């Protein structure tokens, strides 16, 4: 190891020092690399194995790496879905003493899919819409916190399955800026760029035969605009209601919760004549259901998965006649008697292919379909068996999604 090597990190795994830092990233040997699919990028990005986990290494200048590292740490602390930064490595020199670029190291996001992997088989507009919807939620969350992204695109986002939908994670924060508040101009600039980039990416997919030529890429790309503004309006917009329509206050809070946003306070001001009030919510952040499940069960799950689990928990509470019991106790029991055993019923070799909460969601869906078809109540064990044998065996392992060929692998799930 060259003596000038410097590593900035919050905590450092000693195995870090074993990575071949004196070799340009492009030439790292196969035995340290993990062959996973990546989005398109300007810089060299590789995945490396490190103490049983996988890390993403990006080669960039020291200044840029340090800046991105700091930003990722900040947004990670604010609980925004993003990749987790591990370290900046600089002062690298090769065998001849030539300087090498610095590297930013982030944790590989388990079960995440770059958008091209989501579409690898046969992309349908419905899937594109789902990805864009997830990206709109991420943008609203970031903008509420004053984060201007500066280069929003599908390649700068990673997607995780979320109970049939997707959850978006920020992966590339290089162009980001954190402000106290964003002006409408800054927000609009971010959305316009997102739209332009997405349309470009959809054209690329069409050129690569992954999206039907007949689909209107511009129309699909416009959706980011619509979804973002709808959400922003719902989350921050002022509403005028008559004083005798107080129920609309609760209504607004419920709608925001349904969208996954948490209301911190409501600013209510009455009009001069006292007949109407103005209502403006102060939304803290998304993750309403996520936080509830975290508090009740300690499980760290996506928003829609959390909602699905809470519904099942409610049902369990009703069936077992425990409406008057504290929810914390019922949740504990539900976890031990319903959730965990359901996951455990899945054959061990298939279990890790999909993240646990998504597996749980798919099993419940499957049980519902089977019951509909067979016109009887299908027990969970029967649904698990059928689901595992017919569907899960055909799924790829998405934990670290291994690419076996140059081509991106197929996913057999977009039915
Ligand atoms: N921690 C991570 N987990 C999973 N995938 C990652 C991670 N970091 C990077 N990637 C993959 O590598 C790709 C490139 O990373 P990134 O966007 O940071 O590179 P870049 O060269 O800065 O991109 P750009 O061309 O937008 O400047 C991403 O699209 C993503 O697919
Ligand atoms: Mg990028």
Instruction: Identify the nearest ligand to the CA of 111 by its number.
Output: 1
Q: How far is the CA of 400 from the centre of ligand 1 (A)?
A: 15
The residue ranges of every structural domain in the chain are 6-110, 113-234, 238-400
Instruction: Identify the nearest ligand to the CA of 38 by its number.
Output: 1
Q: Is 224 in the pocket of ligand 1 (CB under 6 A)?
A: no
Q: Taking a C-beta distance cutoff of 8 angstroms, is the pair 39, 58 a contact?
A: no
Is residue 373 exposed (0-12), middle (13-18) or buried (19+ Cβ within 10 Å)?
exposed
What share of residues in the chain are helix, strand, coil (percent, to 5)? 45, 20, 35
Evaluate whether 6-110 and 113-234 have a shared fold.
Answer: no
Q: Which atom of ligand 1 is nearest to the CA of 172?
A: 18
- Domain 6-110 is classified in which CATH homologous superfamily? Phosphorylase Kinase; domain 1 (3.30.200.20)
Residue 202 tokens read as: 């959809």
- Tally of CB atoms within 10 A around 218: 12
* Confidence grade of residue 3 (pLDDT, cut at 50, 70, 90): low
DSSP assignment letter at 336:
I
For the domain made up of 113-234, give the CATH fold.
Transferase(Phosphotransferase); domain 1 (1.10.510)
- What is the model's pLDDT at position 136? 95
At 351, give phi and psi (nearest 5°): -55, -40
Give yes or no for residue 409 having a pLDDT over 50: no
pLDDT tens, residue by residue, 154-200? 999 999 999 888 999 999 999 999 999 999 999 999 999 999 999 99
Those residues whose C-beta lies under 8 Å from the C-beta of residue 72, and which sit 6 or more positions away, are 82, 83, 84, 85, 106, 173
Instruction: Identify the nearest ligand to the CA of 172 by its number.
Output: 1
Those residues whose C-beta lies under 8 Å from the C-beta of residue 98, and which sit 6 or more positions away, are none
- What is the model's pLDDT at position 284? 66
Q: Which residue has its alpha carbon closest to ligand 1 atom 1?
A: 108
* Confidence grade of residue 123 (pLDDT, cut at 50, 70, 90): low
Those residues whose C-beta lies under 8 Å from the C-beta of residue 283, and which sit 6 or more positions away, are 144, 235, 236, 256, 261, 262, 263, 264
What residues have a C-beta under 5 A from ligand 2, the ion? 41, 156, 172
Those residues whose C-beta lies under 8 Å from the C-beta of residue 29, and which sit 6 or more positions away, are 20, 23
Q: State mean pLDDT over 307-316.
A: 91
Residue 180 tokens read as: 């106290």
Q: How far is the CA of 241 from the centre of ligand 2 (A)?
A: 44
pLDDT tens, residue by residue, 85-101? 999 999 999 999 999 99
Residue 18 tokens read as: 């074993």
């Amino acid at each position: 190891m060259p003596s000038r090597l410097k590593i900035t990190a919050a905590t450092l795994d000693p195995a870090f020092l074993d990575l071949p830092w004196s070799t340009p990233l492009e030439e790292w040997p196969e035995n340290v690399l993990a062959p996973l699919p990546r989005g398109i990028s300007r810089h060299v990005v590789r995945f490396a194995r490190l103490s049983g986990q996988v890390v993403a290494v990006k080669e960039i200048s020291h200044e840029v790496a340090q800046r991105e590292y700091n930003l990722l740490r900040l947004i990670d602390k604010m609980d925004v879905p993003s990749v987790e930064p591990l370290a900046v490595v600089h002062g690298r020199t090769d065998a001849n003493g030539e300087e090498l670029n610095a590297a930013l190291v982030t944790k590989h996001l388990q079960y995440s899919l770059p958008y091209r992997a989501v579409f690898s088989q046969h992309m349908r507009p419905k899937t594109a819409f789902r990805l864009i919807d997830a990206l709109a939620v991420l943008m609203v969350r970031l903008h509420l916190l004053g984060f201007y992204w500066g280069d929003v695109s599908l390649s700068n986002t990673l997607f995780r399955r979320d109970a049939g939908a997707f959850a978006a994670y920020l992966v590339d924060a290089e162009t980001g800026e954190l402000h106290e508040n964003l002006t409408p101009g800054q927000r609009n600039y971010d959305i316009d760029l997102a739209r332009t980039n997405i349309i470009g990416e959809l054209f690329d997919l069409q050129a690569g035969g992954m999206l039907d030529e007949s689909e209107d890429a511009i129309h699909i790309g416009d959706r980011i605009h619509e979804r973002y503004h709808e959400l922003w309006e719902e989350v921050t917009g002022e509403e005028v209601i008559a004083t005798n329509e107080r129920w609309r206050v609760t209504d607004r809070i419920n709608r925001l919760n349904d969208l996954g946003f948490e209301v911190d306070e409501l600013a209510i001001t009455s009009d001069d004549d006292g007949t109407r009030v103005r209502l403006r919510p102060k939304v803290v952040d998304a993750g309403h259901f996520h936080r509830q499940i975290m508090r009740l069960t300690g499980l760290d799950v996506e928003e829609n998965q959390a909602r699905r689990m809470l519904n099942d928990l409610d049902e369990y509470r009703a069936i077992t006649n425990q409406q008057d019991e504290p929810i914390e106790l019922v949740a504990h029991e539900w976890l031990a008697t319903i959730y965990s055993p359901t996951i455990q019923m899945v054959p061990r070799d298939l279990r890790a292919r999909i993240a646990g909460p998504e597996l749980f969601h798919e099993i419940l869906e499957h049980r519902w379909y089977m019951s509909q078809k067979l016109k009887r109540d299908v027990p969970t064990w029967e649904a698990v068996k059928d689901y595992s044998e017919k569907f899960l065996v055909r799924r790829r392992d998405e934990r670290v999604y291994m690419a076996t060929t140059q081509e991106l692998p197929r996913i057999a799930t977009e039915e």
